[in-house]
Structure 1
Amino acid sequence: MEHIYLDNAATTPMAKPVIDAMTTQMAEDFGNASSTHWFGRQAHTVLDDAHQVMANSIHAKPTEIVFTSGATEANNTAITQTAHARAALGKHIITTAIEHPSVLKPLAALEQEGFTVTYLPVDENGVISLADFDAALDDQTILVTIMMGNNEVGSVMPIAAIAERLADHQAWLHVDATQAYGLLEFDVHALGIDLLSVSAHKLNGPKGIGFLYRREGLNFPPFLKGGEQEMKRRAGTENIPAIAGFAAAVKLITPQEKADRQAKYYGLKQQLMQDLAISGVDFKVNGQVALDNLNHVFNIWLPGCSTYAMQTNLDLAGFAVSGGSACTAGSLEPSHVLTAMFGKESPRIGESLRISFGKDTTALDISKLATAIAKISTRLLAKHAG
């Protein structure tokens, strides 16, 4: 049976240049980058080159890049260490109701320690109100942590407007750019971002590697204690093969490639909507279809069709899609993103699918998916009516 992968917001297949780069490092360069002999220096050269590649991709300095095990560690580091280091200046943090669990759970832990967190609501497009942000910001706010783009509905937050409001404020701005990096072109210095998290496996790189951009001059102790790797900011022997693979993945996503992917994914969204409509499928989009959203994510409501039943039947038919964030796939809890957008009583919460495109997704894949959704939804609705 043919299998079609449409869950790229969860993870992406590694690109061949990434695999080649990692294989070369594993086969030929096993040195510890902290060692001063030839083998160590070879590994350290790869590490230095990768710092430069990452820095160039967001218009930062190589010394502002800290390699981590992924965006989860980067988010935990930025949030927890900022809060502890700056608690004397205030104990208020601002975020949104639709952040990734790797942001929400560290914040919940900080609340147990006495910090106050404001969770900004979102509208039915999955976007916050700047008026709500302005009302929440006060002289006790020490951190604002807001994602650049949402992993379930693709909405993009007004980061530039938020950064502008913080230009003369003590609060640091942390941005989880896990889904946006690789699709949106941005300059962290021009935007005024202080901290930014990224994971390699969302852009055809390896799992278990990411980075934290930490603006020069920001002082807080490392999250992981131990050796003096990453300029004393993140302990642990560097995973050079994964770092080399990450750099190879980033080199593939030029500004033109980002624009091309966004345009392609927007076209695939339009095609899927048209194909579903022609097939007579009753559906509504969760969020907004817009060129400036993260267009690889497409979340739809299929009234009367259980998310679990639809996802299971599509899997049996050879299609990999999601009911929401892969990080909560084993949970019985409904999507907190859709709950924030439509309310906890909305039927959308239990009747929606997340379809996410990748660089290898084709128009034929989308045609086949639409046909499968039409067949399965007809069967499920008939069974429900019976």
Structure 2
Amino acid sequence: MNLKFSERANEIKASEIRELLKLTERPELISFAGGLPAPELFPVDNMKKIAYKVVEEQGKEALQYSTTEGYTPLRQTIVDQRLKPAGINVTVDNILITSGSQQALEFTAKLFIDKDDVIICESPSYLGAINAFKAYQPKFVEVPMDDDGMIIEELEKKLREYPNAKFIYTIPDFQNPTGKTLSVERRKRLADIAGQYEIPVVEDSPYAELIFEGNRYPTIKSFDNSGYVIHLGTYSKTFCPGLRIGWVCAHKDILQKYVLIKQGADLQCSTIDQRITAQFMKEYNLDEHISKIIEVYRNRRNIMIESMQKFFPSEVKYTLSKGGLFTWVELKKELNTKKILEEALEEKVAFVPGGSFFPNGGNENYFRLNYSNMSEEKIVEGIKRLGKVLSKYY
């Protein structure tokens, strides 16, 4: 076909994660690739009751159009149950419901990025965000990390070098892909930097409640005195990803721009899914559900780390995350994990090669492993298979 696509469309490439997720449909494959929650933990029976009740009692309203901002009782629930305990004191007027936080990332790109604009992110960073931003053709400036997350001194160097940068993107809690967490002091400083440099900080926070050790850190947004911090949240990792319920929490002036963008994109999120979610949160305790998730994921993380210690070559490095869904593996610099993945697939085990998490390329000697989705037995067997592949290179 002779079609004249836009320059933006021609720049879009397939997401490696989405392509790899297709592999999870192969029953013989042990996949550590996707960031998938454990399906056996979904509250299926309770959701049946709630869905029936919503249709029975609210059917006409649940099947009708609703406001772009989202179902008000759901927004209030997010404020009361998810944001206030995280130190974020806002009202429903600061909340927009989105189709997962991925839509919020796409809207963020559309809102801020013109071609060749500079955006600043951690190195490495979330592949889904990189892909959402890349469609708008920015220049990525990467800031290195250490065990306490993004190095703030390096960030300030970049801000002085690129004073017209449009925003800073960060995943402060159990970062995807590294599993690292930004320290409290750096969170405070980052909130101050947002106001000092008058630059938005986009705080992507899908994993913050999945804490295996210690207490939850305050959000960056909780230190925000200037209104420049935009907080993104979601129910996908703590409840049901298939509902696609996420949210943007921002200053009213910023949020109104997001609302206008959503009106042009899809008018609103699913009315019935919003009402089902709100009713579930009214009748059941999500914190109790999250506690069950944490217990399972902590055990699976421990089993994965123990298996890596047993089956991986001793020179291989990896992170011990204190929460979230991932561990990040570093191999010798000369190795290429895309090539190693081909061999791993022959052993019927999958992971995500690390190069795509670096927006400016390079660093092909890393890969990401997910421990939330596979059973304990499959984790042991999968790491054993992967260790067999890696042993050829050490």
One of 320, 325, 346 as aligned partner of 1:296: 325
What one-letter code is carried by the residue in structure 1 that aligns with 2:261? F
In the alignment, the residues of structure 2 paired with residue 373 and residue 182 of structure 1 have an alpha-carbon distance, to the nearest angstrom, of 23
Assess if the C-alpha contact under 8 Å between 2:316 and 2:329 holds in 1. Answer: yes
Specify the alignment match of 2:78 in structure 1. 54
What one-letter code is carried by the residue in structure 1 that aligns with 2:177? E
In the alignment, the residues of structure 2 paired with residue 241 and residue 377 of structure 1 have an alpha-carbon distance, to the nearest angstrom, of 46
One of 74, 97, 102 as aligned partner of 2:123: 97
Q: How big is the shift at 1:118?
A: 2.4
Assess if the C-alpha contact under 8 Å between 1:12 and 1:204 holds in 2. Answer: no
What one-letter code is carried by the residue in structure 2 that aligns with 1:374? K
Q: Which digits, 9 at most, give the CA deviation of each residue in 1:90-120, with x for residues without a partner?
A: x6532233333443234334446xxx54222
Assess if the C-alpha contact under 8 Å between 2:107 and 2:261 holds in 1. Answer: yes
Q: How big is the shift at 1:276?
A: 4.4
**Superposition pairs of residues 116-195 of structure 1, within 5 angstroms:** 117-123=140-146, 127-138=149-160, 139-149=163-173, 150-157=175-182, 158-180=186-208, 182-183=210-211, 184=216, 186-187=218-219, 189-192=221-224, 194-195=229-230
What one-letter code is carried by the residue in structure 1 that aligns with 2:108? A
SS of 1:165 mapped into structure 2: helix
Specify the alignment match of 1:204 in structure 2. 239
SS of 1:31 mapped into structure 2: helix
Q: Which digits, 9 at most, give the CA deviation of each residue in 1:233-258, with x for residues without a partner?
A: x862441332244443796442x776
Assess if the C-alpha contact under 8 Å between 2:31 and 2:351 holds in 1. Answer: no
Specify the alignment match of 2:370 in structure 1. 355
What one-letter code is carried by the residue in structure 2 that aligns with 1:104? I
Q: What's the TM-score once normalised by structure 2's chain length?
A: 0.66
Assess if the C-alpha contact under 8 Å between 1:126 and 1:153 holds in 2. Answer: no
Identity value in percent: 11
**Superposition pairs of residues 303-318 of structure 1, within 5 angstroms:** 306-311=340-345, 313-314=347-348
CA 295–286 in structure 1, closer or farther in 2 if over 3 Å, else same: farther
In the alignment, the residues of structure 2 paired with residue 286 and residue 275 of structure 1 have an alpha-carbon distance, to the nearest angstrom, of 13
Assess if the C-alpha contact under 8 Å between 2:120 and 2:167 holds in 1. Answer: yes
Specify the alignment match of 1:223 in structure 2. 261
What one-letter code is carried by the residue in structure 2 that aligns with 1:215? H
In the alignment, the residues of structure 2 paired with residue 117 and residue 198 of structure 1 have an alpha-carbon distance, to the nearest angstrom, of 23
SS of 2:104 mapped into structure 1: helix
Q: How big is the shift at 1:67?
A: 0.8
Specify the alignment match of 1:229 in structure 2. none
Q: Which digits, 9 at most, give the CA deviation of each residue in 1:333-367, with x for residues without a partner?
A: 75323798xx8365x34xx4513226xx7xxx435
Moved more, 69-78 or 207-216: 207-216
In the alignment, the residues of structure 1 paired with residue 140 and residue 390 of structure 2 have an alpha-carbon distance, to the nearest angstrom, of 42
In the alignment, the residues of structure 1 paired with residue 188 and residue 150 of structure 2 have an alpha-carbon distance, to the nearest angstrom, of 13
Is 1:65 matched with 2:95? yes
Q: How big is the shift at 1:300?
A: 4.1
Q: How big is the shift at 1:182?
A: 5.0
What one-letter code is carried by the residue in structure 2 that aligns with 1:73? Q
In the alignment, the residues of structure 2 paired with residue 287 and residue 338 of structure 1 have an alpha-carbon distance, to the nearest angstrom, of 17
**Superposition pairs of residues 297-376 of structure 1, within 5 angstroms:** 297-300=326-329, 306-311=340-345, 313-314=347-348, 322-324=350-352, 335-337=355-357, 344=362, 348-349=365-366, 352=367, 354-357=369-372, 365-366=375-376, 369-374=379-384
CA 225–376 in structure 1, closer or farther in 2 if over 3 Å, else same: closer
Assess if the C-alpha contact under 8 Å between 1:177 and 1:196 holds in 2. Answer: yes
Q: How big is the shift at 1:66?
A: 0.7
Specify the alignment match of 2:6 in structure 1. none
What one-letter code is carried by the residue in structure 2 that aligns with 1:118? V
Specify the alignment match of 1:75 in structure 2. 105
Structure 2 gaps of 5+ residues are 1-26, 85-89
Q: What's the TM-score once normalised by structure 1's chain length?
A: 0.67
Assess if the C-alpha contact under 8 Å between 1:144 and 1:173 holds in 2. Answer: yes
CA 6–24 in structure 1, closer or farther in 2 if over 3 Å, else same: farther
Q: Which digits, 9 at most, give the CA deviation of each residue in 1:28-59, with x for residues without a partner?
A: 53334697xxxx89x99x92221111112012
In the alignment, the residues of structure 1 paired with residue 132 and residue 354 of structure 2 have an alpha-carbon distance, to the nearest angstrom, of 20
**RMSD, aligned α-carbons:** 4.4
